[in-house]
Chains A and B, each alone.
Chain A
Amino acid sequence: MADVVVPVLTAGIGVRNLRDIDVYRADGGYEQLRRAVLELTPKEVADICSGSNLRGRGGAGFPTGRKWSFLPNNGRPRYMVCNCDEAEPGTFKDHMLLEETPHQIIEGILLGAYAIGCDHAFIYIRGEFKRGYEIMRDALEQARAAGFVGENIFGSRKNIAFTIHRGAGAYICGEETGLLNSLEGRRGEPRLKPPFPAVKGLYGEPTVVNNVETLAYLPYIMRNGAEWFAKCGPARSPGYKVVSISGHVVKPGNYEVAMGTTIRQLIWDCAGGLRPGRSFRGVQPGGGSSACLFEEHLDVPYDFDSVTKAGSMLGSGAMVVFDDTTDFVKAAYTLIRFFSHESCGQCTPCREGGHWIQRTLERLLAGGGLDSDVDVIKSAAHQLTGLNLCALGDSIEPFLASVISRYEDQFRAYVPRPTAVAS
């Protein structure tokens, strides 16, 4: 097991108090920021990131260097926003990183901000992470006192302001344009794209929104070189990944592995496998929005392209494991209720579709379902996909469709059978 887990971001967690700036600096912390600001041009930092082929860890897996390259050179102010609005069902990596290693995140954000040439960086922290917010606030004070944040960083005459913004409870604010609206003091409703945030983002200016984990890898890529990251795992989605494993496993938790580790290794070697006497029924490889994978997919390498090829997605890297005690109708209902609850209500297919599928499942679970319900649910979920401003509506179908195709009998079993009339 130990040889599967490769601690990079997670190194030292639970061993050293990395919330203390001195402990983080003893590990080489803030060295890369100093080097970047004093010795490298922003373009050189961005090139190192592009060379590492780092892909976004927040869900979409978009190459980070490419995202930065979309910023127009129009002389307008630019913004760097770090997305710490983690709320995807099954994901808890950013929660851990925020509470355990805030300085790593600050350094990553500042490196990104320097690379794109922005002078005001934000971190948007989910409202529920009150403790994480306090830890980040204290860490930022330490970094400010040390002269790493704010004006004249490392005596370089470079200024990067840093604002911690707390959300107030809305899953949709994890969508980047919803997040920007929320940061502007509006309802967190996603915007029509294009224009993408890189062109028109916060306050209408070019903006980059990156996930916590994505940015936290930057100091290590700078330290060990782009090659180190790019050479690890498959060439098209290389590097390391913190995988949150939960559900029916013996040791749920965050495990940092090289991309391309198989799903089987993750479940059995890292998370200790299933509970005694239980058998495997499925796994969601990428949070609540991803389709369920089954026994035949256990040897799929865990990287963006392979998981997509297997018919699901890597998403935010959250594995939810199901054993033979799982009621997949209830599981599907739980997720549909979530999407229905978190829909911002702008797009009719998502707002209405999610709600009606939820109600149909509710009726089915209550024992009042019809034979046609299963087909209606399937068809409704399929029809609402692709018609929404953001990915939330499109997240309703994958899990539902995948478990209906495999465990349709479980759904049908909820339909009450007509009792024979005694003659």
Chain B
Amino acid sequence: MSIGIDSDAAGGIHPGPDPGEAVATWSPYVVRAGEPFDALYAQLQPDIERLIAEYEQKRSALIPLAQLFQDHEGYVSADAVVAIAYLVGESAAAVESTISFYTLLYRRPVGKYMIQFCRNLPCMLNGADDLMAYARGRLGIGHLETTGDGLFSYEEVECLAACDRAPCAQVNLEFVYDLTPERVDALLAELRDGRSAIDPLPQTRKPGRTWKVEQDTGLKSPGAMGVSSPNNAGGIGDASGRAMFDLIVGRPQYEQRSDERLLRETTLRVEPSENGH
């Protein structure tokens, strides 16, 4: 069962860490022997120092550091969040807050090829709707989903600034232009056979069905990108509160308990007051 955080139409919501993911145990003071992340951290040390030195204030390096770790791990892992927080001198919550705003930073593993079709106006005028339906059919997955073998992730994104060669898409941020159903087939075949010039993304963990949280179809406003619903006041009992709870505790079974509590509280609120009104 997925966590019911509200998401906007494109699902641009920060889902928090994967329930299956280990809680961050990275520490700047202890080197954990045999841990891949610690080896990666040591390996990236020169890049990290170079990035931080680029700016007058360390926090400016937050997004570049997240990109650096994602380039090597395929997503921004829990350890990476803690490491970035240490490096820029902010809390892990501040790092999560920033990362959650940006659609190109993934907090959960994605496929080896991230295929992003443009769905905005100039592409739509040139038949992007049909083309995307075709691509979804060929891949057997929908918007914001990853194939079972972990090879492809599919997303419909906003204007990619290549409207003269619409419809267009990006695969691992490399542009592919002037798409037709035949070209989509050829592209997918090339990627499957490893004949493509486009490098696969690193994949240190097996991706789940989606790296975002699916859309809430209830009659609630979704909030905008990365902002939980304004109709959810927060706290235990609503969706974002439950997600926060899971994030802290790292166990999905608390969902059940908070649902019960929500029910109880709702009942309490509608009881008549003492003077009979």
Contact = CB atoms under 8 A, between A and B. Distances in A.
A248 B223 CA distance: 34
B258 to A, nearest CB: 24
Interface string B94-113: 00011011111100000000
A165 B65 CA distance: 11
A92 to B, nearest CB: 4
B16 to A, nearest CB: 16
A86 B230 CA distance: 29
B174 A131 contact: yes
Interface string A180-219: 0011111111000000000000010000000000000000
Given A247-B125, A355-B8, A345 B223 contact: yes
A341 B12 CA distance: 8
8 contacts: A129-B161, A166-B63, A166-B67, A168-B103, A184-B57, A185-B62, A203-B56, A253-B164
Interface stretch (B40-48, B116-124, B234-242, B261-269): B116-124
A317 B102 CA distance: 26
B159 A355 contact: no
B61 interface: yes
A168 B174 contact: no
Interface string B56-83: 1101111110110000000000000000
Interface stretch (A54-62, A102-110, A148-156, A332-340): A332-340
Contact of B125 (A86, A126, A168, A320): A320
B122 A247 contact: yes
Nearest to B63: A168
A138 to B, nearest CB: 16
A169 interface: yes
Contacts of B105: 168-169
Interface of A: 77, 86-92, 94-95, 120, 126-131, 163, 165-171, 182-189, 203, 244-248, 252-254, 284, 288, 318, 320, 322, 326, 330-331, 334-335, 337-338, 340-345, 348, 350-352, 355-356, 358
Contact of B170 (A128, A284, A350, A352): A128
Contact of B103 (A89, A169, A189, A337): A169
Interface residues of B, number: 54
Contacts, number: 183
Is the contact region of chain B dominated by helix, strand, or loop, or is it mixed?
A: loop
B60 A355 contact: no
Interface of B: 8-10, 12, 54-57, 59-64, 66-67, 88, 90, 97-98, 100-105, 119-122, 124-126, 158-166, 170, 173-175, 221-227, 230
A347 to B, nearest CB: 10
A341 B230 contact: no
B56 A89 contact: no
**Counting chain B CB atoms within 10 Å of each CB, which of A170, A171, A284 scores highest?**
A170
A248 B163 CA distance: 11
Given A169-B105, A334-B121, 11 more contacts: A91-B161, A128-B161, A128-B173, A185-B61, A185-B90, A188-B102, A247-B163, A334-B120, A345-B224, A351-B224, A351-B227
A95 B158 contact: no
Given A90-B159, A168-B67, A169-B105, A203 B9 contact: no
